[in-house]
Structures are given as structure tokens and as C-alpha cells.
Amino acid sequence: MQPTARKPVKVESSWSIMDRVGLGLAWAAGLSLCLVAGSIIAYMAYKGIQYVSWEMITSAPEASLDQSATGGFLDPIIGSLVLTVIGIVIAVPVGVAVAVWLTEYGRPSGLARAVESGVEIVAGTPSIVLAIFGLLIFQQSFMGLFSFTAEGGAVFGRSFIAAGAMMSIVALPLVIGATREAMMTIPRHVREASYALGKDRATTIRRVLLPSARSGIATGATLGMGRIIGDTAIVVILLGASMQISPEDGFGGIFRGTGSTLTSYVYNNSPAGEGNAPEKAYAAAFVLLLIVIFLNAAVGLIGRRNKPQWN
């Protein structure tokens, strides 16, 4: 039987003009993203490898008019390390405690909500505002023991402890967020099982919940470390502008002293700061980038490793 004669139907493509434009834009955005990312990494690698050397990493910076004698950046590296340690040592216990209180207790609920908003405000505050606030606190006379006090009573207000304390505020929201997430993924029946065995809430937290949340806490701490290492504004304002680490005499030593970190070293050696040694800046920036890459990879690894199974 012959099929009925029909006019041939023109099949329209399902992609209209606007859709094609959208597709083109998406590809353009994606390719330019690849280009920008690739060129940043390639350029930093190229310049960094060109200028960095083992003796740069291990020699201390020195003030000198002759560029070739200004030494390396050992002190800034130590400075970054000290700041990170101080920041994390303060942020992790406090952050875990606050996160535990928010998820496990959290009464009265108005207070819990206020604390949550407060943490969010801190998370969104620019670090320059935190730096100025730090200066405000640490320049009060009763804070004199945290930094150097000149004759005449003016408290300098700038020291490793001052910068470290502000850095811990910067890292706090990250630790709190990661810990809360980790604790919230622990299913309810684990807690109920612990209560059924006669344990009270505090013991449950200490013995059951916190050990399971270890990887979340570690993730939060590593994220905080990454943020601390990369922060420049707080360092520029609160660490004093000495190139080398100058500890104070007497109690506290290095903590009350001033110094520099990798970030402030890069800033000072770029055309924006006083130096004008782009090679040193590139080398230090390269080392900084390697540290950040390493911390990033560590976050990924920690997240993947200790995934506790609940069933």
C-alpha cells in the first residue's frame, strides 16, 4: 500500500539562535578560564624557577644597598610558620568548642542564632578591618605585655602575638564551619546508642563524636592555615615592619617581637613596597604558591581518607 503523499516536513534543529549564542558564550568562558588559569600557573612557575635557589630559602634577609647582598627569605618563612602556628593553636580549640556547643547544645536558641550570625559577620569582614581592630586592642596600655612598650608609655601594639591572635579570628569561621558539618553528618542513632549505654552528653561528645569528626576538624584547620598563610593586610599592619625577626628581650621572646612573613616580603619587594627587587618577590611568591598548593592537596587528601561508615 502506498503511503499517503505528504508534503516533506522540514525538521527544525532543536537549537535556536539564542541557544547557540549561549553555547558559544559558555565555551568562550570555559576556554578563557583555562587560558587564564594556565597562564597564571605557567608564568609563576617560569619566573619562580628562574629566580628561586636553595640559598635563598635558607639565608636570612639583610638590609643592604647592593641588591646582590640582600640575602634570601629565611626569616619571612619562619615568620609565616610562627604566625600560622599561633593562629591555629588558638583557633582550633576555640572553634571546635563553639561548633560543638552550636550542634550539640545550643540553648537558648536565640543565643545560638546570634553566635551563628556573629561568626558569619566575621567570615565576611575584610581582613584589613580585623587588622585595624587588632591594633586598637593591642595598643591599649593593659595589653603592653604582648608587645614592645616604648619609654613614655606608648604601646607599640605590633608583634607576632598580636598578628597571631587576629589570624586566629580569620581562621575561626572556617574551623567552626568544617567542624559543624562533620558533626552534623554523624547520624542520630550513634548518639542515641551512646545514651542508651548510659553515657551523658559530654562523654558522648568526647569519646564518640569528636573522634569521628577528626577529619572534618583537620579539614577546617588546613583551610584556616591556607587562609592565614595567604593573608597580607594583617601582617602589614600588625607585625611591625622589620625584615628580620627581632625578638624582644625578656619573657616571651619571639612572640612579642616583630618580623615579616612571606606575604609581606613579597609586598615589600614589589614595586609597590620599598624594595625594588622583583626577582626576590617572584622567588618568594613561588615558594608561597607551592605551600598553598601543598595545603590544598592536603585538604583533598584528608577529606577523602577518614570517611567513617555509618550503617
Residues 123-182 that bind other proteins (CB under 8 A): 124-130, 132-133, 135-136, 154, 172
201 lies in the binding site for other proteins (CB under 8 A): yes
Query: Could you tell me if residue 198 is left (phi over 0), alpha (psi between -120 and 50 degrees) or otherwise beta?
Result: left
225 lies in the binding site for other proteins (CB under 8 A): no
Identify the burial level of 43 via C-beta atoms within 10 angstroms of its C-beta, where 0-12 means exposed, 13-18 middle and 19 or more buried.
exposed
CA 185/CA 205 separation, integer angstroms? 14
Do residues 217 and 111 make contact, with C-beta atoms less than 8 angstroms apart? no
- From residue 235 to residue 274, the character string flagging contacts with other proteins as x (rule: CB under 8 A) and all else as - is -xx-------------------------x--xx--xxx--
DSSP string, 164-216: HHHHHHHHHHHHHHHHHHHHHTS-HHHHHHHHHTT--HHHHIIIIIHHHTHHH
Closest CB 170 distance from other proteins, rounded Å: 11
Q: Which is nearer to other proteins, 74 or 132 (CB)?
A: 132
Torsion of CA 295, 301, 303, 308, to 10 degrees: -150
Q: Which is nearer to other proteins, 190 or 292 (CB)?
A: 292
Q: Which is nearer to other proteins, 74 or 115 (CB)?
A: 115
101 lies in the binding site for other proteins (CB under 8 A): yes
Q: Which is nearer to other proteins, 8 or 126 (CB)?
A: 126
From the list 111, 145, 184, 193, which residue makes contact with other proteins (rule: CB under 8 A)? 111
Task: Report how many residues bind other proteins under the rule CB under 8 A.
Answer: 80
Which 46-85 positions form the footprint of other proteins (CB under 8 A)?
none
